[in-house]
Amino acid sequence: MHSVQFTMTETLFGGMALVIALFFLLRKLGLAVFWSGVISAIAGLLSYLVYSLRHWESGDVLAIHVVVYLATAGILVAFTNLQSKQSKMHWAPKVIIYFFLFLTLLNAALLSLSMHGLPHYLVSFFLPNAAEKQVNTAFPGVMPHDKNKSYEPHLNQLAKQKALGWSVDTSSLKNLRTGQANQISLRVVDKHGKAVTGAQITLDLWRIADSRDDLRLSMVESSAGQYQARWTPQQGRWMSLLSIQRGDDSYSVKASLNIGGE
């Protein structure tokens, strides 16, 4: 069964709501302020940890959730204690608390933007002609130096590919789902529309978040010009390199993949 997947904004503020609701529930049941804060914070963290086992994003995202949940519980404990003592907090500690709360939320917002980009309505508002083209506002990641050699050989390869006139249908790479085996199917035809048969095709996949997940798939020709492979991807941003070799002819296509993104 396909599990429900939430955005980081939903898990962040949903978890905060859980911590706050559980804190006040425990207080109403008569539990001490300190233990109400501890239990509500642990409940929020455990809920997100269980969710992240199925939908892992990155260590940065986990750290943001830990800080926000702990800070929420800590602020609730501090203000509840002050209220019970009927004393007012000095303005200086208040400024510090609000500053770090603002800093945490700002970092969470920037992290969400870097991973998922701006929401569609903001893209349409800020960027010209956004509705007429595909716009990607998320951070594309970095490319390791050993995968970004001199640009001149790349230009030569593009010229050879243009003269070769091959065409590759890579549409199956655009709708991959996480947590299940996906059938990747590619069709290769020459400039006359005839199937390119007997080619050796590899698909290199480099994960932006963790290079330890990099892998290479060898594609098998299932019918004339049709090549297939299976892959169970993890969520995140990937760079792909499709390499086709038949005799002295070679062809390659690079693309950025956003697996499980919005």
Q: Given pLDDT bands bounded at 50, 70 and 90, which one contains residue 187?
A: very high
The answer to whether residue 208 sits within a structural domain is yes
- Structure tokens belonging to residue 85: 């003592």
Establish if 179 belongs to a structural domain.
yes
The percentage of residues in the chain with a pLDDT greater than 90, rounded to a whole number, is: 20
Domain span at residue 225? 145-259
* Tokens 């697996």, located at residue: 259
- The CATH number linked to 255 is 2.60.40.10
Query: What is the pLDDT at residue 2?
Result: 47
The residue among 122, 156, 176 that closes a domain is: 122
Q: Is residue 233 part of a domain?
A: yes
Query: Is residue 181 one of the residues assigned to a domain?
Result: yes
Query: Is 135 inside a domain boundary?
Result: no
**Range name among 24-28, 62-66, 153-157 with the lowest pLDDT average:** 153-157
Distance, in Å, from the CA atom of 239 to the CA atom of 256, rounded to the nearest integer, reads 5
pLDDT in tens, 63-118: 888 888 888 888 888 878 777 666 566 666 667 767 777 776 776 677 666 666 66
Residue 177 lies in a domain: yes
CA 196, CA 223: separation in Å to the nearest integer? 10
Whole-model pTM over 0.75: no
Whether residue 114 is found in the same domain as residue 150: no
Instruction: Give the number of domains in the chain.
Output: 2
Please check whether residue 131 lies inside any domain of the structure.
Answer: no
Domain end among 89, 122, 155: 122
What is the structure's pLDDT at 90?
66
Helical packing angle, 8-28 and 91-116, nearest 10°: 140
- In a shared domain, residues 113 and 170: no
Q: Are 169 and 234 part of one and the same domain?
A: yes
| Range list of β-strands (E), the chain | 167-169, 182-189, 200-207, 215-223, 226-231, 236-246, 249-259
Residue 127 inside a domain? The answer is no
Q: Are residues 211 and 245 in the same domain?
A: yes
203 — pLDDT class (breaks 50, 70, 90)? very high
| Number of helices followed by number of strands (H, E) in the chain | 6, 7
